[in-house]
Amino acid sequence: MTRTDRDRDDDGRARQARPRDALGRPLPYDAVGVEPVSEEPLPPLETLTTARALLDEGRPFSAHEVLEARWKDCPEHERPLWQGLAQLCVGVTHARRGNPTGAQRLLDRASTHLSGYAGTDGPTYGLDLDEVLAEARRCVETAEPEQVTPG
């Protein structure tokens, strides 16, 4: 594949075919990376369960992808919830990639979305949003940058 060629799916849409490490960084085409997550949105509780499992596996970037799929498919009034949760995972990803400034910016954006959502009648699916945000901040504060390694 040349530099100008783009990876495409069966429908011709641009897709990244390179394997990724646990933090979503592209690896060489011949490397073994982590299993990609589906781009199909999951139901709300399944989204949360899957994202939590991915976080527990040290895969915040993949957790973000699962939450982002839900965010793009959810009812309009729930968008701040799913966007904020996805941004928390990206913040953790940035911290683990060694980018504390980016991590803090994403946590601040997530906090804005989640605090605005918390004041609505929208469902939180059993989440204590203050605790979720506090946990993400702890993860960012204690994150050790990781090197690029196959999954």
CATH 3.40.50.2000 fits 44-142, yes or no: no
DSSP-derived letter for residue 9 is -
Break the chain into its structural domains and give their ranges: 1-34, 44-142
Tell me how many helices (H) and strands (E) the chain has. Answer: 5, 0
pLDDT digit string (tens) for the chain, length 151 residues: 444 455 666 676 655 678 999 999 999 999 999 999 999 999 999 999 999 999 999 999 999 999 999 999 999 999 999 999 999 999 999 999 999 999 999 999 999 999 989 888 889 999 999 999 999 999 899 988 876 554 4
Considering only CA atoms, which of 27, 91, 81 is closest in space to residue 55? 91
Nearest 5°: the CA angle 72, 75, 76 is: 85
pTM for the model stands at: 0.86
